[in-house]
Amino acid sequence: MMALYLRDLKLATRAGGGALTGILFFLAVVAVVPFGLGPDLKLLARVGPAMLWIGALLASLLGLDRLFQAEREDGALDVMLMQETPLVLVVFVKCLAHWTASGLPLVLISPLLGLFLNMEPAAILATMLTLLAGTPAITLIGAMGAAVAVALPRGGLLVSILVLPLVVPVLIFGVSAAYAAVEDPAPFLPPFLILIAISLFFAVIGPAAAAVALRASSE
């Protein structure tokens, strides 16, 4: 399984891989926000956590449609379907590699963007933590969408449409935890723990559902 993880990581970071594109998309989306809202630093600081979350959400959906489609196009998916290794595990490892290559970098550069949006250190730290806990859930939910859309010729946009409603809870708890860290009355821990619970829940459900969908879609 390590072999699959390393291969996917290599493919994502080598020329033409999607890892860099995702990060750039995140940068660009967040950078465009002030042009819409105006350069009012107080306002930016207030919407900061939400903007970072939405940017990260869109950026992590960006490369997901290729997760299984690339494997299907060159026939590797057929071979993967025939192995002794359970397909669920294959999907999980692919998700893990995808997250390492394109989710983790988003988390790591989010503090930098937080500075651009004039967020307080506490808010930046909280947003980074919630992103760390929440982006795996986005990848795992997205894997389901990618598996469902794998057989479609133009699945790319469809994946985003299928997945966005499903990731709403992640967004809700991620953003509210990030705000709870700054605004006094609300406690940080409950929404954060729920966010972790969602991630763990989809770590089980996501790969299983994706595996079923992949089996079904192989002609």
Partner 1 sequence: MRERSLAIRSFTDLANPTRFVALAGRLLPWLASLTVLLFAIGLTLCFTTAADYQQGETVRIMYIHVPAAWLAMMGYTVMAASALGTLVWRHPLADVAAKCAAPIGAGFTALALVTGSLWGKPMWGTWWVWDARLTSFFILFLMYLGLIALNRAMDDAGRAAKVAAVLILVGFVNIPIIKFSVDWWNTLHQPASVLRLGGSAIDPEFRRPLLVMALAFTCLFFTLHLAAMRTEIWRRRIAAMRRQAARGAASA
Partner 2 sequence: MPFRLRVDGLGASRGEDPIFRAVCLVLDAGDALLVTGRNGTGKSTFLRTLAGLHPADSGTILLEGAADPTAPVRESLHYLGHRNAMKRDLTVAENLVFWSRFSSRSGDTDPTVPPEAALETVGLGGLGHLPFGYLSAGQQRRAALARLLVAHRPVWLLDEPTAALDTASERMVEALIAGHRAAGGIVIAATHQALDVPGAQTLTMSGFAVPA
Site for partner 2, rule CB under 8 A: 2-4, 7, 10-11, 14-17, 73-76, 78-85, 218-219
Interface with partner 1 includes 34 (CB under 8 A)? Answer: yes
Window contacting partner 1 (CB under 8 A); options: 28-36, 156-164, 165-173, 187-195: 28-36
Smallest distance from the beta carbon of 114 to partner 1, in angstroms? 9
Pick 28 or 108: Cβ nearer partner 1: 28
Decide: residue 219, CB within 10 A, 0-12 exposed, 13-18 middle, 19+ buried: exposed
Smallest distance from the beta carbon of 9 to partner 2, in angstroms? 12
For residues 216 and 43, give the distance between their C-alpha atoms in angstroms, rounded to a whole number: 48
Q: Which of 4, 9, 11, 20 binds partner 1 (CB under 8 A)?
A: 20
Pick 24 or 122: Cβ nearer partner 1: 24
Binding mask 110-149 for partner 1 (x = CB under 8 A): -----xx-x-------------------------------
Handedness of CA 205, 209, 210, 215 (dihedral sign): positive
Interface with partner 1 includes 4 (CB under 8 A)? Answer: no
Total number of residues that touch partner 1 (CB under 8 A): 18
What is the helix (H) or strand (E) element at residue 26, kind and residue range? Answer: helix 19-37
* Residue 40 binding: pick among partner 1, partner 2, none (C-beta 5-8 Å cut-off by kind): partner 1
For residues 216 and 49, give the distance between their C-alpha atoms in angstroms, rounded to a whole number: 39
Pick 42 or 154: Cβ nearer partner 1: 42
Cα angle 70, 78, 67 (rounded to 5 degrees) comes to 25
Spatial contact of 139 and 99, defined as CB atoms under 8 Å apart: yes
Smallest distance from the beta carbon of 15 to partner 1, in angstroms? 5
Torsion angle (degrees, nearest 10) of CA 151, 90, 207, 69: -20
Strand runs labelled E in the chain: none
Interface with partner 1 includes 186 (CB under 8 A)? Answer: no
Spatial contact of 60 and 106, defined as CB atoms under 8 Å apart: yes
Residue 154 DSSP class? T
